[in-house]
Structure 1
Amino acid sequence: MSYNNSKINNPELLIEQLMEEHGEALARLAFTYVKDRGRAEEIVQDVFIKVFQKIDQFRGESAIKTWLYRITINRCRDELRRWSIRTLFFKSEGIEESIPHGGLSPDKKLIEKEKEQELGIVILSLPVKFREVIILFYYQEKSIEEISHLLELTQNTVKTRLFRARKKIGERLHDYRREEG
């Protein structure tokens, strides 16, 4: 979406539109960092307050959506530095609550739902540097280049983190299933 100067001249209208278009996606992104819906919503509110205060500083060097993601990621990292994420417990609501299952029978749907929950638990247990690339790549469907820009990392670093994250997910899923079985 393109944001022209007339909208920036009316920041209230612009912020309202940005909240409507990107608020839910930013809340999901924040949740993947802090693992708490309430805190994620507070972070997104803080992000939009910051955007409102600094909209005149947006230079248009990237898409405004990229700018919003960058601010959200930075705000989440600040939050994680302030609070020990280890004191939080995984809550089963969160990552992609409903992924279509096609025409599966109820028992197969239940098995798929359990697998998704296992995957969600494993992803949220990863260190932030691995969790963020997985979430951005698979759930937010960002390219390596976009992730590189958002996280201010080289593309090779993003690729390496994705590789290592996938490996850790595989290992942890294996361990998780062994413990459950």
Structure 2
Amino acid sequence: MRWDKLIHKQRSLPANHEETADMNQRVESWIHNYGHDLKWLAYSYVKDHSLAEDITQEAFIKAYQKFSTFKEQSSEKTWLYKITINLCKDYLKSSYMKRVVKKGAEMFRSLPSDQSTPEEYVVNLSEDEELLQHVLRLESKYREIIILYYFEEFDTKELAEVIQASPNTVKTRLRRARQLLQKQMTSEGGTRNE
């Protein structure tokens, strides 16, 4: 697949055909190695599969366009995760998100639910799905720490680089995220057992 066809913005083209082929191969490698994980990461932010796919594709396009600015102070994986997280945060800050999605969510809250009780809904989920639901309910700064640390297996140094914070901040957020997750699961488990 020719990636230059997908990119509409002007970028500096490689000097020769060989460099173009190398870059196309690099992008294919990124997609193969990180595509699924980046899509999952984007979904954890935007909670919409098609939007997560769009953001993931946009991340690869942006990385392709800006590869000449990559200083190799981190791994390509860390760089791609940082691009994806920034695109997700930009989307969530957008005026469209504030105007349309939040108003729509308020409207749907007033509709009656198909589920008879929240307890029955949780009982029907598998343990993995239940854990995922708890993680997705966390505030974004805690959710991203849990996902990147446990699911993507970033160490604290890489995490600090990705979220642009100090390693101590990462450790504090990770500890706080674990506490919040445990509190959520304990309070729900207590409610279910009553």
TM-score in terms of structure 2 length: 0.72
Structure 2, unaligned runs of 5 or more: 1-15, 109-122
Structure with greater contact order relative to length (CA < 8 Å, sep ≥ 6)? 1
Distance 2:150 2:191 in 1: 26
Counterpart amino acid of residue 35 in structure 2? G
1:62 pairs, out of 50, 71, 74, with 74
Change (3 A) 1:8 1:160: farther
Change (3 A) 1:155 1:121: same
Matched, 1:34 2:46: yes
Counterpart amino acid of residue 127 in structure 2? K
Equivalent pair of 1:70/1:151 in contact (CA under 8 Å)? yes
Change (3 A) 1:130 1:81: same
Q: How many residues align?
A: 155
Over residues 41-90 of structure 1, what are the superposed CA-to-partner deviations in whole Å (9 max), with x where a residue is unaligned? 1100110111121111112121111111110111111122122576399x
Structure 1, unaligned runs of 5 or more: 1-5, 90-110
1:174 pairs, out of 165, 186, 194, with 186
The alpha carbon displacement at 1:114 in A equals 2.2
Q: Please state whether the residue corresponding to 2:73 is helix, strand or coil.
A: coil
Equivalent pair of 1:8/1:56 in contact (CA under 8 Å)? no
Matched, 1:119 2:126: no
TM-score in terms of structure 1 length: 0.77
The alpha carbon displacement at 1:29 in A equals 1.2
Matched residue, 2:24? 12
Counterpart amino acid of residue 157 in structure 1? T
Q: Which has the larger radius of gyration?
A: 2
Counterpart amino acid of residue 150 in structure 2? Y
Equivalent pair of 1:136/1:147 in contact (CA under 8 Å)? yes
Q: Percent identity?
A: 36
Change (3 A) 1:8 1:69: farther
Matched residue, 1:78? 90
Distance 1:114 1:21 in 2: 28
2:152 pairs, out of 118, 140, 164, with 140
Equivalent pair of 1:7/1:13 in contact (CA under 8 Å)? no
